[in-house]
A and B are shown apart, each in its own frame.
Chain A
């Protein structure tokens, strides 16, 4: 089975990667189309200064590659993406508004977003799993009910509002935590953590609640499974039944969920980054879209799409590894 399994898996992964490519093509195309067909501004005009002559505008267009029709521009973009440009590989071009190269900024900002998302993920898992498991072990108890209700409050809280509330409380009023902004870890680890703490919390509370809910449900389902009864009937200690049999089965589906959530957040922390002034991918794409800076928008879109596709693929592979039933045979 081994060899064939790997081969089948490989083919499956290849197919998924192919589909990822298709999605990337479509998503970037849509981005292009939104940018060109719908909006109002001509980036060249802005680039060309306050009182541009038509020649200058034309020249800027040429420089920005805007003189070709959309289809050609798109193809050129793809080409540069594949073969690279003067800023290296992949060819992501330069910002229409600042003239700076995209790629180095992208990595820099991706780091911040990644720190934000991963930190938040750790927090929400650390809160969500124990709460969910404990609630499932004591269904309908006071803890269960109150965790459900508190969780629902978290789920219902708009992230930006929570962020503002935290800032108002812990920064503006109490002065316990530093305000918005970002300090690199290497500069000052304490300041780094101080600055990240509120964004992490803001991002993770709703997820913690959602995960607690999901884990509680999965755990309850699992605890109702026949094989848990079997484990008990074998005389296993309750602790082992819970950890080894119930938790294991309950957490496997969480892997997929986690990967997809993290992936979605990589392009989706806009609001938190906005509130906390973090110069990550989210605030960048907001900037790019609001300023019609297509290369920025495309770069973030690309990263987000790739993150979603690859992480969900990874999740599926891990899932297949953890759950023999879904391994391709």
Chain B
């Protein structure tokens, strides 16, 4: 796959805090492609949101230090003058967030919030802008969009609000949509609607999509490629079917084994022992090392890089490639079966 849209290379994001620097993203590399969906999964705090906020340059420079490269179509966004960055946000990358009620301005009509975007990025009359806003609402499947455009966010249902967010992100027809947990706040049936909508738009307008979620299942449903994040790094990356079908990293194994199956029975789950490390106090070497059932001495020595082992399928694990499948069935050791306080 060559049509790389967004490329993140060796990204570091560090937050200053009274208790020392918090390394929220720590040497992350990712790639999102045109017309495809990149799923980003990982537990809470693994750095998913921060990564893409960094890509949008939406982190507060007063507290966050960002380094590395984030290229959109080859242009490094991190070095772009902020005025030009404004023309990236919106026209080239659209972004939607988890809680659509909080993400919409409560005092402005939704139609105005959309047309405002249009007017900020082009010389367009108020009237045309609002017409296009209505059209955008119609496109995301909102019934009677002209009426809805005149309503305030709190007057809409959750699913509808998320559709408004999507319409707003897409009204400028960007190349990339970053969806940060777009369905977490929604009901199951509504979640399905929204995922289907995003998928539909992706195929219809050839959009690149980044879908951030902590739910493996959600990601597995719509993503073409998946990146699994742990403590600020991607530890496995590859085509969706590969990552979930033949997971390579012990952490991914753990995640999958923790999941109760929809059609499964009462058999005991195999959780990952321990808890994610404090980002202010990362363990040496492999971040997952302390919780890993297959830890080797070398794990504590260096941070393993993300290495592509099969076509498009990379992982960051020191374990020898051969016999990983076998290992998964028979773990070496099992650290204490409880999670310590963070």
- Are B117 and A249 in touch, CB under 8 angstroms? no
Is there an interface contact between B106 and A234, defined as CB atoms closer than 8 Å?
A: no
Question: Which of B84-92, B227-235, B318-326 touches A?
Answer: B84-92
Nearest CB on B from A125, distance (A):
20
Tell me the minimal C-beta distance from A218 to chain B in angstroms.
Answer: 13
Is B102 interfacial (CB-CB < 8 Å)?
Answer: yes
Contact of B95 with A by CB under 8 A: yes
Which of chain B's residues 101-158 have a Cβ closer than 8 Å to chain A?
102-107, 116-117, 120-121, 152, 154-155
Check if A225 is an interface residue, CB within 8 A of chain B.
Answer: yes
Partner of A324, one of B90, B102, B116, B154: B154
* A227 interfacial by beta-carbon distance below 8 Å: yes
Say whether A236 faces chain B, with CB atoms less than 8 Å apart: yes
CB neighbours (8 Å) of B88 from chain A are 235
Cα separation A60 to B141 with both chains bound (whole Å): 81
Min CB gap B148→A, angstroms: 13
- Are the C-beta atoms of A235 and B87 separated by less than 8 Å? yes
Known A229-B58, A232-B58, A235-B117; contact A324-B152, beta-carbon cutoff 8 A: yes
**Complex interface: chain A residues within 8 A of B121 (CB):** 235
Chain A, 213-256, CB within 8 A of any chain B CB: 225-227, 229-238, 240, 244-245, 248-249, 252
A323/B58 contact (C-beta < 8 A), A226-B97, A232-B89, A236-B117 known:
no
Which A residue sits closest to B82, measured CB to CB? Answer: A238
- By a CB distance below 8 angstroms, the chain A residues around B104 are 227, 230
CA distance A248 to B121 in the complex (A): 21
When C-beta atoms are compared, the residue in chain A nearest to B165 turns out to be A230
Judging by beta carbons under 8 Å apart, are A227 and B106 in contact? yes
Is the Cβ of B120 less than 8 Å from the Cβ of A227? no
Interface residues on B, range: 20 to 34
Chain A nearest CB, measured from B312 CB (Å): 29
Shortest Cβ gap from B154 to chain A (Å):
5
A306 contacts the other chain (Cβ, under 8 Å)?
no
Does A325 count as interface, using CB distance less than 8 angstroms? yes
A322 at interface by CB-CB < 8 Å: yes
In the complex, what residues of A have CB within 8 A of residue B99's CB?
226
A230 touches B105 (CB 8 A): yes
* Pairwise interchain contact A252-B107, C-beta atoms closer than 8 A: yes
A8-B121 Cα distance, complex, nearest whole Å: 40
Q: Does B28 contact A (CB under 8 A)?
A: no
Cross-chain contact B105 with A245 (CB below 8 angstroms):
yes
Report chain B residues within 8 Å CB of A232.
56, 58, 89
Most buried by A among B56, B105, B165, B172: B105
B contacts, CB < 8 Å to A: 53, 56, 58, 62, 82, 86-91, 94-95, 97, 99, 102-107, 116-117, 120-121, 152, 154-155, 165, 168-169, 172
A residues with CB within 8 A of B? 139, 225-227, 229-238, 240, 244-245, 248-249, 252, 322-325
For the complex with contacts A227-B102, A230-B103, A322-B107, 4 further pairs of A-B residues with Cβ separation under 8 Å are A229-B103, A232-B58, A248-B107, A249-B107
- Could you pull out 23 A-B pairs where Cβ atoms are within 8 angstroms? A226-B102, A227-B103, A229-B103, A230-B105, A230-B168, A232-B58, A232-B89, A233-B56, A233-B58, A233-B94, A234-B89, A234-B116, A234-B117, A234-B120, A234-B168, A235-B91, A235-B120, A236-B90, A236-B120, A249-B106, A249-B107, A324-B155, A325-B152
